[in-house]
Structure 1
Amino acid sequence: MPRDPDHAAAESPLAELADLILNVGRLVRARTPEGSEVVPLTETERQVMRIVDLYPGTAPSEIARRARLQRTNVSTALRTLESKGMVARVPSTGRGVAVRATELAAANLRGLRSAWARELTDVLGDDLDTVRQCTELLQRLEQRLTTDDGHLAGR
Structure 2
Amino acid sequence: MPREEADAALADLADLILNVGRLVRARTPDESPGVVPLTETERQVMRVVDLHPGAAPSEIARRTRLQRTNVSAALRSLESKGMVSRAATVGRGVAVHPTELAASNLRVLRAAWARELAGGLGDDLDAVRQCTGLLSRLERQLTADEP
TM-score (norm 2): 0.91
Match of 2:144 in 1: 147
Report how far residue 122 of structure 1 moved: 1.7
Residue 13 (str. 1) matches residue 27 (str. 2): no
Please give the root-mean-square deviation of Cα atoms over the aligned residues, in Å.
1.8
Question: Do 1:60 and 1:71's aligned partners in 2 also have CA atoms closer than 8 Å?
Answer: yes
Q: What do residues 4-46 of structure 1 show as CA deviations (whole Å, max 9, x unaligned)?
A: x8xx389521111111111100000000013222111100000
Residues in 2 aligned to 1:136 and 1:65: alpha-carbon distance in whole angstroms: 22
Q: Point out the more displaced range, 127-136 or 116-125.
A: 116-125
Residues in 1 aligned to 2:95 and 2:89: alpha-carbon distance in whole angstroms: 6
Residues in 1 aligned to 2:42 and 2:115: alpha-carbon distance in whole angstroms: 24
Q: Which of residues 36, 61, 81 is equivalent to 1:84?
A: 81
Please tell me the residue identity of whatever aligns with 2:123: D
Residues in 1 aligned to 2:77 and 2:6: alpha-carbon distance in whole angstroms: 37
Match of 1:116 in 2: 113
Following superposition, which runs of at least 4 residues in structure 1 exceed 4 angstroms of deviation?
none
Residues in 2 aligned to 1:49 and 1:9: alpha-carbon distance in whole angstroms: 36
Residue 100 (str. 1) matches residue 121 (str. 2): no
Q: Which of residues 38, 41, 44 is equivalent to 2:35?
A: 38
Q: How much identity, in percent, do the aligned residues show?
A: 74
Residues in 2 aligned to 1:80 and 1:94: alpha-carbon distance in whole angstroms: 24
Residue correspondences, number: 145
Question: Do 1:9 and 1:15's aligned partners in 2 also have CA atoms closer than 8 Å?
Answer: no
Aligned to 1:98, the other structure's residue is in SS state strand
Q: Which ranges of structure 1 fall in alignment gaps of 5 or more residues?
A: none
